[in-house]
Structures are given as C-alpha cells and as structure tokens.
Amino acid sequence: MRIDVLTLFPEMFDSPLSHSILKRAQERNIVEIVLSNIRDFATDSYRKVDDKPYGGGAGMVMMPGPMFDCVEHAQAQADEPGRVILLTPQGKPLTQEKVVELSTEPRLILIAGRYEGFDERIRTGLSAEPISIGDYVLSGGELGAMVLIDAVVRMIPGALGDDDSAADDSFSNGLLEYPQYTRPEVFRDMKVPEILLSGDHGKIDQWRKEQSLERTKQWRPEIYEKYLQSAPTDKNEQ
C-alpha cells in the first residue's frame, strides 16, 4: 500500500513512523509512506496557504489552490489515484470496521489541515472522504492522520509479528475485548481468575465471551445494542 500525507508539518511524522510496527512495515515494503508539504504549492511570495473566511468570522481557512496542486502532484507520482481522505471533526467517525476497509486499498491520500478548517471546495472538488478520529477539536489533522495510519497499517497482512495479533482485538467481533492477565498469578493480593488457570479452553472461551458481552454492555451500551442488532437471535442467549 502507498499512503501519501499532505501536511504543513511533515516533520511531525518523523518519530511515529520510525518505530515498531510502522517502521518494520516500511522496511518490509508492506507500506510506503510519502509526506508532502502543502506550503511547497503556495504560489505567492508569502507562500500563503490560508486566508480569511468569506462571510467573516474568526480564524483562517485553508485555500483550495495549494491543496489541489499538492494533491494532483502527489497523485501524479503513482498509477493509482488513491482514495482521498480529509481528516476533520466533521467527518464520519473512524471505526475498526472503516480501518479494515481502508486496509484493503492500494493507495490512500490523507489531507491533514490546520487553522479553522478547509475551503469546502477541497472536499467537493477532490471528492475527499471526511473522517474524524473523535468528537473533539485538535490543533491540526496530523495526529488524526497518524492514528489512521497506525490503525490501518497494522491490519495489512504481514505487518504484525507473531507476538502481536489483531485476531481478537477489541471490535474485531463487534465487542470490547475480554480482560487479559499475565504472570504473576498473584500481584499485590490480586489473583488471576481461576478459570484462566484451569486449562479448560472450552470454559475459558465461554468465560471470555461472557466478559466481552458484560463489559461492552456496561461500558459501551451503544456498541452492545449494535452487536445485538447485527447478531443472529441466539447471540443474547449465550
């Protein structure tokens, strides 16, 4: 997969992309991540990429010109035009379901903004898909792009080593993951549940399913409802 990131701060990506799974995935050519600086496509001597909002109001808006030129320049770098994604709080929430879908794409072009936001023609004119990492306002889309890259790349076959597994991640079966324990058996008088020490994998799987159902019901009732809707009727008898 090729991932292009269009940003005013490409240097912000140096560290997150040069460690652990993301570093290894690039070394294994599982993913190629290419950073472009939108300001390199500014046309005036002040290298302007933002301007005042029409209709007044506080803050500045990212201009269409430099952004279109940056996207089209990036698109011209490879055969695949790529799926253009706009990181914005106005976007559809990023979910594991969307992450899995994006991880099958040959190419993504991520647009990370700054200031108050984007001229609307960037979304409409580039048929960009607005995605949000959460209902809060960041100072820039860069962290959103990093979150998306991390979540997507680890789902590409070969990206995770044997000691990592995405198989029973939270949300992989529509529920929160069950509680996990490791050595020691007793830590500050807190004991590992007996069932996990029993070796009875049938009972252990049953316990884990019950735990996933219970904590999803308690902590994320909206996900629990969605799970029940999507489930064959027997799900709630389990």
Active site residues: 89, 116, 154, 169
Q: What is the largest CA-CA distance in the chain?
A: 71
Q: Which is nearer to ligand 4FV, 52 or 191 (CB)?
A: 52
Give least dist CB 156 to ligand 4FV, A.
Answer: 22
Does 46 bind ligand 4FV (CB under 6 A)? Our answer is no
- Residue 109's φ and ψ, nearest 5 degrees, are -120, 110
Does 123 bind ligand 4FV (CB under 6 A)? Our answer is no
Q: 3-state DSSP call for residue 192?
A: coil
Is residue 114 within 8 A of residue 141, CB to CB? The reply is yes
Q: Which is nearer to ligand 4FV, 87 or 151 (CB)?
A: 87
Alpha carbons within 13 angstroms on the beta-carbon side of residue 95 total 11
Does 115 bind ligand 4FV (CB under 6 A)? Our answer is yes
Does 140 bind ligand 4FV (CB under 6 A)? Our answer is yes
Is residue 38 within 8 A of residue 87, CB to CB? The reply is no
Does 132 bind ligand 4FV (CB under 6 A)? Our answer is yes
Q: Can you read off the two tokens belonging to residue 232? A: 């064959």
- Which of 57, 134, 161, 193 is close enough to bind ligand 4FV by CB under 6 A? 134
Counting DSSP H helices and E strands in the chain, the numbers are 7, 10
Give least dist CB 218 to ligand 4FV, A.
Answer: 26
Q: 3-state DSSP call for residue 127?
A: coil
Q: Which is nearer to ligand 4FV, 66 or 113 (CB)?
A: 113
Classify residue 85 by burial, with Cβ atoms within 10 Å: 0-12, 13-18, 19+.
buried
Nearest to 178 by CA among 199, 209, 201: 209
Give least dist CB 115 to ligand 4FV, A.
Answer: 5
Does 81 bind ligand 4FV (CB under 6 A)? Our answer is no
Give least dist CB 234 to ligand 4FV, A.
Answer: 37
The footprint of ligand 4FV (CB under 6 A) covers 87-89, 113-115, 117, 132-134, 136-138, 140-141, 144
